[in-house]
């Protein structure tokens, strides 16, 4: 088996910098964690907030701190740093090779999607952002790391795409349909979700828009090589 992970990210229209931050870190006992943070508002201020939260979370995960504890710590840190006045939405998706599960931690009003070609469910239990309430707890879901399992998380640029024009993006229906295509890869799925969100916003993303896809697939080729590819457009 192999895991394919793909992320795609674009700033709100006419902004240079996205207020969303995505970071990846290796887990000390095996596996990888992905942290996707949407800072309150947009632009430079949002970026500073999401950067601060993401780096706090990855630093803790890298030291072996569990996902729930890392999310709580990031909350406390943000709450202290900005006196409870600035919020952030936080998603952590971990591939935990010890428990052989994918762990999804949500502090976001955006659902996460989990499923395969036959069925897809939305993880949409009510969940508060971090940074603004005295207490908070992340909503944590653990799913077995089995072949064809796919996890999709995204920020509200995807969730609210098209809302301006009254044709809100039905992300779950879109993903369910894509997963019925044999051999859809994580990069293709992430790109398709982002492209559809941008299309619904008539080519001008109404918010910072990010999507992360984690997909377990049968081994493609026999090699044991780990690969990382990044595309980073600059002016």
Which positions from 152 to 191 touch a second copy by CB under 8 A, shown as an x/- string?
A: ----------------------------------xx--xx
How far from 43 is each of 17, 124, 131, 160, 212, CA to CA, in Å? 6, 27, 18, 18, 21
Question: Cβ atoms within 10 A of the Cβ of 231, count?
Answer: 5
By CB under 8 A, residue 148 contacts a second copy: no
**Smallest separation, CB 181 to a second copy (Å):** 18
Q: Show Cβ contacts of residue 37 under 8 Å, excluding neighbours closer than 6 positions.
A: 20, 21, 22, 49, 50, 51, 53, 54, 57, 88, 89, 90, 91
Which positions from 101 to 120 touch a second copy by CB under 8 A, shown as an x/- string?
A: --------------------
Tokens of 166: 């009254």
**Smallest separation, CB 116 to a second copy (Å):** 17
Q: Show Cβ contacts of residue 63 under 8 Å, excluding neighbours closer than 6 positions.
A: 28
**Smallest separation, CB 97 to a second copy (Å):** 7
Which positions from 203 to 232 touch a second copy by CB under 8 A, shown as an x/- string?
A: ----------------x---xxxxxxxxxx
Which positions from 35 to 54 touch a second copy by CB under 8 A, shown as an x/- string?
A: -------------x--x--x
By CB under 8 A, residue 62 contacts a second copy: yes
Return the half-sphere exposure (C-beta side, CA atoms, 13 A cut-off) of residue 67: 28
Which positions from 7 to 36 touch a second copy by CB under 8 A, shown as an x/- string?
A: xxxxx-----xx--xxxxxx-x-x-x----
Query: Quick one: three-class SS letters along 151-162?
Result: EEEECHHHHCCC
Residue position matching structure tokens 């992905």: 34
How far from 109 is each of 34, 143, 170, 217, CA to CA, in Å? 18, 20, 15, 29
**Smallest separation, CB 234 to a second copy (Å):** 6
Looking only at residues 69 through 108 of this chain, which bind a second copy when binding is defined by CB under 8 A?
95, 97
**Smallest separation, CB 194 to a second copy (Å):** 6
Residue closer to a second copy (CB basis): 51 or 141: 51
Residue closer to a second copy (CB basis): 9 or 106: 9
For residues 25-40, one letter each, b for 16 or more C-beta atoms within 10 angstroms of the residue's C-beta and e for the rest, the string is bebeeebbbbbbbbbb
The site that binds a second copy (CB under 8 A) totals a number of residues, namely 52
Q: Show Cβ contacts of residue 147 under 8 Å, excluding neighbours closer than 6 positions.
A: 1, 216, 217, 218
> Which spans of this chain sit near a second copy (rule: CB under 8 A)?
1-11, 17-18, 21-26, 28, 30, 32, 48, 51, 54-55, 58-59, 62-63, 95, 97, 145, 186-187, 190-191, 194, 219, 223-235
């Amino acid at each position: 088996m192999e895991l394919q992970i793909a992320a795609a990210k674009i700033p709100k229209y006419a902004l240079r910098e996205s207020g969303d931050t995505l970071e990846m870190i290796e887990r000390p006992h095996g596996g990888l964690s992905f942290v996707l943070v949407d800072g309150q508002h947009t632009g430079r201020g949002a970026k500073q907030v999401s950067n601060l939260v993401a780096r706090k979370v990855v630093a803790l995960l890298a030291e072996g701190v569990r996902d729930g504890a890392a999310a709580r710590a990031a909350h406390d840190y943000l709450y202290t740093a900005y006196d409870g006045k600035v919020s952030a939405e936080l998603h952590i998706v971990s591939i935990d090779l010890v428990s052989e599960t994918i762990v999804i931690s949500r502090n976001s009003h955006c659902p996460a999607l989990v499923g395969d070609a036959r069925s897809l469910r939305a993880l949409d239990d009510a969940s508060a952002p971090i940074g603004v309430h005295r207490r908070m707890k992340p909503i944590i879901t653990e799913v077995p790391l089995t072949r064809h399992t796919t996890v999709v998380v995204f920020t509200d640029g995807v969730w609210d795409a098209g809302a301006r024009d009254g044709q809100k993006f039905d992300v779950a229906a879109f993903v369910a349909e894509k997963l019925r295509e044999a051999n859809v890869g994580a990069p293709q799925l992430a790109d398709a979700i982002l492209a559809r969100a941008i299309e619904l916003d008539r080519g001008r993303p109404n918010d910072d828009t990010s999507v992360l896809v984690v997909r377990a697939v049968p081994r493609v080729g026999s090699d044991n090589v780990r690969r990382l590819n990044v595309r980073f457009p600059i002016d």
